[in-house]
Amino acid sequence: MRLLLISNSTNPGENYLAHAKNQIKDFLGEKKQQPVFIPYAAVTFSFAEYEKKVNEAFADIGHHVIGIHRFDHPAEAIENADAIVVGGGNTWHLVKMLQDNKLIEAIRKKAKEGTPYIGWSAGANIACPTLKTTNDMPIVEPAKFETLSLIPFQINPHYTDEHPTNFSGETREVRINEFIEVNRNVFVVGLREGTMLLREDNALTLIGNRNARIFKYGESPRELSYEDDFTFLLSESE
């Protein structure tokens, strides 16, 4: 499997996907490809607008996506795809549309056969076994929470340590601790903005200059950097 799982699409003061362009280019390779793009996480703007936005970013690296909404037979488009790109937005909306279009198994099969998979934010979240560690409001109700299971652990994109003054709500760490309390065998990776995980077969590495925070029931959270080995996360359930 080849996966590039990106926490976020935009860093403050930068253009869309600017921080990830070089990694996306290296991941896709020099050969010009036209990945199938899945814009289903978009809610307040059209799929065509989303496709255009991604293509404006991808133009700098010599690639061009085509939105799956343009195909009469979406599953067939996935079957023939050179690469799969899944954009961020609302994870619940994304998962429901993937289920409605019967694409979960199609994407899983292609990715497990080695087709490159790129996802940011919600697109990274659905590479996990479930969507349970999303930050998004459940604006729609999918048939089930299970997602692609391309990795055996959970990601929390946009992970932040922030606890604003005069804010009495739960922090992100508190929410993740609730998850591991009732999902005791599952690791959660708090993936901070500006970072991404790269899976090349059975190797897993962190890209970016910020640490990832690793959660597991019964263990103190760990801070790991790009210099550390993340491969242990792949062996837990596979």
Known catalytic residues are: 121, 136, 158
Rounded CA-CA distance 47/39 in Å is 6
Rounded CA-CA distance 142/45 in Å is 20
Phi and psi angles of residue 216, each rounded to the nearest 5 degrees, phi first = -155, 140
Helices (H), the chain: 21-28, 47-58, 74-79, 91-100, 104-112, 122-125, 172-182, 232-235
Contacts of residue 75, defined as CB under 8 A and 6 or more positions apart, other chains included, come to 101, 102, 103, 106
Rounded CA-CA distance 89/39 in Å is 9
